[in-house]
Structure 1
Amino acid sequence: MKDVYLFSGFLGSGKTSMLTYVLQQLKEKGLKPAVIMNELGKLPFDSQAVDEEIPLKEMLEGCICCSGAEKTEAQIQSLLADSQFDVLIIETTGAAHPVEALDAVYSPLFADQLNIKGIVTVADSKLWLDRETLPPQVRSLFLEQIRHAHLLLANKMDLLSEKEQAKVVYELQAVNPNAFILQTTNGKVPLHLLEELQATARASSENVKSAKIGKQLQLSSRLVELDNSFTQEEFEKWIQSLPSTVYRIKGYVPIEGVRNPFLFQYAYGLVQWLPEYIKMPAKIVMIGENIQEIDIESLSRN
């Protein structure tokens, strides 16, 4: 039997950081992991966090819980047939309803080969405190991801005061009284907490109404190639001009005077720049509502 974990969490919550940390612990323990990553974008940026020797399946431009369910089944079948692994981790897109996503993993074709351990949800603690600013459908999804977790990470605690930290934990516990809540920074969760999980989501999933996330949230992605270089200030000024319906931007941005493009991440007003030591393609993926209507021309320099 292969243990399976489903990593859930809203856009920019820290799922990939958690994934990287868990993979490191599995390898140190002598266990062989495999990964299925589901992204809305056309470029597999997050998958670059996975070492080459780890079996990896990517599902781009699709949702693991909707039309992508059959693809998920095919990917799992492929892994079971072609790869040697002990643990399977499925990282869903931030737009995935966790129970629907978990249901997509169940199949009579390989049910006897998989032990579904549970849903691990990463919640952005700062975003939780600001959740009333989110559109109603987005806020509803945020709550659903928290409500259905078996293990809940209250992430980005380093950004909050002690009073705010206590408030987040108290309120998350009220939404999901059954999950163990761990306060984290950078998604650092001890492996033993995952190993102690025993999923009960299969029984409860029958009572969950399909969220039809793609239609309700109108989430989409857009790939933008960057032909110019920028200063960090110029690029961040453009970011600040974007509407609140842009939830996530990630990619590689060429910076003036720097040889290689920087890894850039944006989520809900928070910006992160990380230097790269190899030349990556100068492209970004934007994720949000009605993303095709965003004015990209203003990004071009005169």
Structure 2
Amino acid sequence: MAGKIPVAVVSGFLGSGKTTLLNRYLREQAGDASSTMVLINEIGAAGLDHRRVRRLGDRVAVLESGCQCCAVQGELVDALRELFLQALRKAIPPFSRLIIETTGIADPAPVRYTLQYERFLHERYAYAGCLVVVDAMHGARHLRERREAVQQAVLADALFLSKTDLAGEGDADALKSTLAGLNPAAPLYSSSGGQALAGMFDPAGAAERRRSGRAGSGLRFGAGFAARKREGAGEELGVLALEWRSPQSRAATTKALEAAMAYAGADMLRVKGSFRFSGAAGRWAVHGVHRVLYPIAPEAAAVGGNLVDDGGCALALIYRRVAAGADEALAEILRRHLPGVVA
């Protein structure tokens, strides 16, 4: 990310409190907020009291992966390119970070995809993660009834539970448990926690800081089958978590993941892994959504500059269990390409 402008995505279901949280963040930044550019892509009035706001249209495009994003990809590319060039020409003040607030029904995955694959943007911007805001009052119902809410929670690098003062204590605790089951690697903040927001708007960094305090790669969910119905989610979700004690072949890993994603298709909600590859230094981060496997990239260093490393590999798949026998089929695909799974 050195020299690139970090781009954080703020997502969450309709009415979850995204704009309220973003306003609070900008107020906390005070003078430093002038270096932050905000892209709003929300239906209706933004209500954001920040003078540097650029709007994307409220159009909906169904991308090839099956995701919905309430901005045509080309429009997002044009907006980010224009902002960079305007700052370069001094038509607008320079900015050192950018936040995109998505619509309440948007899948944040296409933003990451765009930043990875559009050459101009990839050379100038770096994806800094996704913060998903969950409404403590209505979040449990959203997770039961709306696939978009589940998808957002699964893709989050960090989660923020809003309106906890309006929800019952037992309801909030139950929702926290559901979110932890859907996305155990994401730090979970709450509006009652009194935390400073600066770290939350670096979601990937927040997740990395959380992992850096634990042994291993941070994806330690326990090897073997974890496929089961997630309590509180209104559909059958499977989680398959596997570990290997030794480095793997990069080519074999790519083939395994492509095969697993081809099998699950649009029902593959998230692929996330931390790998050591034979003949390559350092650790490598693996990410994918639906049918799209993102470029494998070096993991960022943890706090203090050193990434905790045990030499092994860890992988987690989160998917909708639509087809009978999906758990066993996915495990077999991975084991066939990547032997030596820890039992």
Fold-level similarity (TM above 0.5): yes
Preserved CA contact (<8 Å) 1:121 1:149? yes
The 5 A counterparts of 1:201-240 are 206-209=288-291
Residue 114 of structure 1: aligned partner: 125
Partner deviation per Cα, 1:157-203 (whole Å, 9 max, x = no partner): 11122222211111110011010001116997521233473489896
Tell me which of 79, 83, 106 is aligned to 1:96.
106
Q: Determine if the alignment matches structure 1 residue 148 to structure 2 residue 141.
A: no
| Aligned partner letter, 1:79 | L
Q: Residues 99, 21 of structure 1: CA spacing in aligned structure 2 closer, same or farther, 3 A cutoff? A: same
Aligned partner of residue 16 in structure 2, secondary structure: coil
Q: Determine if the alignment matches structure 1 residue 72 to structure 2 residue 71.
A: no
Write the distance in 2 (CA, Å) between the matches of 1:81 and 1:149.
Answer: 30
Q: Determine if the alignment matches structure 1 residue 87 to structure 2 residue 97.
A: yes
| Aligned partner letter, 2:74 | E
Q: Residues 127, 88 of structure 1: CA spacing in aligned structure 2 closer, same or farther, 3 A cutoff? A: same
Q: Determine if the alignment matches structure 1 residue 129 to structure 2 residue 140.
A: yes
Displacement after TM superposition at 1:209 (Å): 4.4
Q: Residues 172, 154 of structure 1: CA spacing in aligned structure 2 closer, same or farther, 3 A cutoff? A: same
Q: Residues 63, 101 of structure 1: CA spacing in aligned structure 2 closer, same or farther, 3 A cutoff? A: farther
Partner deviation per Cα, 1:39-96 (whole Å, 9 max, x = no partner): 234xxx10x41422x2x22012224836611000000011111131011000111111
Write the distance in 2 (CA, Å) between the matches of 1:109 and 1:77.
Answer: 7
| Aligned partner letter, 2:184 | P
Residue 38 of structure 1: aligned partner: 41
Q: Residues 175, 86 of structure 1: CA spacing in aligned structure 2 closer, same or farther, 3 A cutoff? A: same
Write the distance in 1 (CA, Å) between the matches of 2:70 and 2:54.
Answer: 17
Write the distance in 1 (CA, Å) between the matches of 2:125 and 2:109.
Answer: 17
| Aligned partner letter, 1:131 | H
Write the distance in 2 (CA, Å) between the matches of 1:154 and 1:91.
Answer: 16
Q: Residues 28, 67 of structure 1: CA spacing in aligned structure 2 closer, same or farther, 3 A cutoff? A: closer
Preserved CA contact (<8 Å) 2:143 2:149? no
Q: Residues 91, 66 of structure 1: CA spacing in aligned structure 2 closer, same or farther, 3 A cutoff? A: closer
Aligned partner of residue 60 in structure 1, secondary structure: coil
Write the distance in 2 (CA, Å) between the matches of 1:119 and 1:80.
Answer: 21
Residue 243 of structure 1: aligned partner: none
- Stretches of structure 1 lacking an aligned partner (at least 5 in a row): 211-302
The 5 A counterparts of 1:122-201 are 122-131=133-142, 134=145, 139-184=146-191, 190-195=197-202, 197-198=204-205
Write the distance in 1 (CA, Å) between the matches of 2:150 and 2:108.
Answer: 11
Preserved CA contact (<8 Å) 2:161 2:190? yes
Displacement after TM superposition at 1:132 (Å): 6.9
RMSD: 2.9
Higher relative contact order (CA 8 A, sep 6+): 1
Q: Residues 98, 29 of structure 1: CA spacing in aligned structure 2 closer, same or farther, 3 A cutoff? A: same
Q: Residues 99, 5 of structure 1: CA spacing in aligned structure 2 closer, same or farther, 3 A cutoff? A: same
Residue 16 of structure 1: aligned partner: 19
Residue 51 of structure 1: aligned partner: 50
Q: Residues 193, 131 of structure 1: CA spacing in aligned structure 2 closer, same or farther, 3 A cutoff? A: closer
| Aligned partner letter, 1:92 | T
| Aligned partner letter, 1:208 | H
Aligned residues between the structures: 200
Displacement after TM superposition at 1:25 (Å): 2.7
Write the distance in 1 (CA, Å) between the matches of 2:193 and 2:12.
Answer: 13
Write the distance in 1 (CA, Å) between the matches of 2:104 and 2:177.
Answer: 23
Aligned partner of residue 56 in structure 2, secondary structure: strand
